Amino acid sequence: MEVEVASSAVSASREISANQRPVTNRSPAKTRRGDPYLDIAAYDPEADLMVLNLGPQHPSTHGVFRLKLYLDGELIVKAVPFCGYLHRGVEKLCEKLTYVQLVPIFDKNDYVSPMMNEQSLVMAFESLLGVEVPRRARYLRTLLAELQRIASHLLWFGAFAMDLGGALGGGSTLFMYCFRERELILDVFEELTGCRFHYNTHMIGGNRHDVPAGWAAKVHSAIDIIEHRLIEYENYLTTNRIYLDRTCGVGVVDADLAMELGITGPILRAAGIDHDLRRDAPYHAYDELEVRVTTDIAGDCEARTRVRLAEIRESVRLVRLMIDGIPEGPLGSRKPIKTNLAEKSERGHAYAAVESPRGELGIYVIGGGANRGASPYRLKIRSPSLHALSCLPYVLPGHVVSDAVAILGSVDPIMGEVDR
Amino acid sequence: MSVAGLAMAVDVIELLTQRFSANSEPDGPPLVAPEHHLELARTLRDEFGYRIFGFVIASHHPATTKDGEKVDRVRVVYGLRTVGSHTRLASWQLEVDVGTSVPSLVGLFAGADWQEREQYDLVGIRFEGHPDLRRLMLPEDWKGHPLRKDYAIDTEVAPWR
């Protein structure tokens, strides 16, 4: 796909965007906390409460997720979330499969950013087994992570616009546009790994697939197109009066609530906390890069959109910095392991965390020693989406039902990762 | 006394070993007595700035001692994180028998609510003082706790309910 990117056109549309954006209320975030343990029987007996089940089959729940809402008129009094509809028992499976067999399984957890899942898993295994990763592989992992972040946030942006309803550019228009741009990244990944989605490109001690000839030029053209069109889409949505009315001041998660719940990632940064594992606890090759972290103070749905869009632009900048300078050297610190049981078994605990598009994605692994063979004794996935969803019982009360859809969309839950 | 990839701050290790008399473990984070658990979490949050809730991990450790006596233990690892630049994790573990319960952190960190529900659901450890200890992932009428070591991976379940 060829698109002419004229730099004058880009700067012109930037100016329009700055002039057209209406001034919004930018006061620091403060959540009106609802009570998740509210006793409905003791609630005002005069009130005519209605119970509304949002989900498990509902387009706005981004998967299978059930939200039981107690409504007084149209106001939400209490919200009880139910998850687990997609529970596949991954953590039990980890006790059966070997270290080598587990990497492709983890692609399916967060199916919107599979690269981060693989990376957190192999990082945990590498620290448990004491395996070094060569610089070229660390660099390539950083690059893949940033490309994946662009793809993940693009999909979220389109889905969020669709959640907010048909008034915003004819329903699924923006969704389809964002999907089309995400395809560019998937094409690039396909050329590198052979798969569009479940890559299996990381292995303990390095990466499996080396960069093909001419790949850098394709990445350049993909991110040029994305950066150019993103300005258009941003103007399309974020200057829309209806969008602003539905997101400003809606679903405020303040910093205290976010930290207490363990929410990290864009939601925490939108609440004004400058916290990003890429900069604050560097892994891969992030210690060689300067990651500019975006924060916002309002903590509402609009602030979360701003933070995520800024993160796409930041990732585009980082990819541009890295793509032409991938260092030479070996891609793995040892030969690829062909048999399942060749990995030695280690005792001990290990933890590795990466900044996924949704926050801190951590893998805590307990090695079993000789009597467990080559599989972990216990493995726990610290899922950022699960922590993010747990804000709903605190945030939703006091909002109307249509706001619940906007808030759920802005949290960006991936149910495959929540339920595991 | 260590978790690979999780280097704890020196002052926290000092706090754990001296003020809360934690035992260092050959592998894994320091072992803390359950009666010190809440006070330790409060100290870390209020005095040391560990304000982001990290994780709760329970694991089942059945074993047979030299005398042929069977012990059935659960270990629970908690983790908390500091905010901002040079962020660090602090983690510690508790060890209890399967039947006894662990003090819940819900009063200090609201995020412990769902995490402890998940561990109760999958490992079957009870948390004392938890306001709403229901299963999180599995249906309410599920029998057993799948992440127990005595729960076979091929346990048959009805395909529909």
For A241-259, what is each residue's pLDDT tens digit? 778 888 888 888 888 899 9
Q: Is A379:A91 a contact under the CB 8 Å cutoff?
A: yes
- Rounded to the nearest 5 percent, the helix, strand and coil shares of chain A are 50, 15, 40
Establish if B136 belongs to a structural domain. Answer: no
Q: What's the pLDDT score for residue A2?
A: 47
Strands (DSSP E) found in chain B: 52-64, 70-81, 89-97, 101-103, 126-128
Say which residue the tokens 């990651």 belong to: A291
Structure tokens at B141: 């009428």
Establish if B104 belongs to a structural domain. Answer: yes
> Which is more confident, A9 or B37?
B37
Q: How confident is the model at residue A335 (pLDDT cuts 50, 70, 90)?
A: low
Establish if B133 belongs to a structural domain. Answer: no
For B118-154, what is each residue's pLDDT tens digit? 999 999 898 988 888 888 888 888 888 888 888 888 8
CATH number of the CATH domain containing B114: 3.30.460.80
Is residue B141 within a helix (H) or strand (E), and if so which, with residue range?
none
pTM of the model: 0.85
* Gap between the Cα atoms of B136 and A223, Å rounded: 40
For A378-408, what is each residue's pLDDT tens digit? 899 999 999 999 999 999 988 888 888 889 8
Structure tokens at A100: 């080598």
Structural domain containing residue B89: 10-128
Q: What's the domain count of chain B?
A: 1
Q: Is A252:A30 a contact under the CB 8 Å cutoff?
A: yes
Give the type of residue at A113. S
Which chain B residues contact residue A127 at CB under 8 A? 4-5
Q: What's the pLDDT score for residue A218?
A: 92
Question: Which residue does chain B place closest to A415, by CA atoms?
Answer: B137
Kind of pairing, strands A359-368 and A347-356? antiparallel
Say which residue the tokens 């500091």 belong to: B82
Is residue A15 within a helix (H) or strand (E), and if so which, with residue range?
helix A7-20
Establish if B21 belongs to a structural domain. Answer: yes
Could you please report the per-residue DSSP string of A278-319? HHHS--TTGGGS-PPPP--SS-SHHHHHHHHHHHHHHHHHHH
Q: Which of B56, B114, B134 to mutate to test the interface with A (most CBs of A within 10 A)?
A: B114
Domain extents for chain A?
A: 87-419
Question: Which residue does chain B place closest to A383, by CA atoms?
Answer: B55
Structure tokens at A134: 């060569």
Phi, psi of A177 (to 5 degrees): -60, -45
Smallest Cβ–Cβ distance between A124 and the set B5, B54, B147 belongs to B5
Establish if B1 belongs to a structural domain. Answer: no
Domain A87-419 has CATH 1.10.645.10: yes
* Gap between the Cα atoms of A400 and A397, Å rounded: 8
Q: What's the pLDDT score for residue B56?
A: 92
Residue A21 in this model has a pLDDT that exceeds 50: no
For A184-226, what is each residue's pLDDT tens digit? 999 999 999 988 888 888 988 888 888 998 899 999 999 999 9
Structure tokens at B56: 């709760």
Q: Which of B27, B52, B123, B154 to mutate to test the interface with A (most CBs of A within 10 A)?
A: B52
Give the minimum alpha-carbon distance from A350 to chain B in angstroms, rounded to a whole number. Answer: 4
Residue A336 in this model has a pLDDT that exceeds 80: no
Q: What's the pLDDT score for residue A148?
A: 93
Alpha helix segments (H runs only) across B9-159: 10-14, 37-48, 112-123
Q: How far apart are the first and last CA of chain A?
A: 36
Residue A136 in this model has a pLDDT that exceeds 60: yes
CA angle centred on B103, ends B89 and A86, rounded to 5°: 70
Residue A182 in this model has a pLDDT that exceeds 80: yes
> Which is more confident, B80 or A240?
B80
* Gap between the Cα atoms of A115 and A385, Å rounded: 16
Q: What's the pLDDT score for residue A16?
A: 41
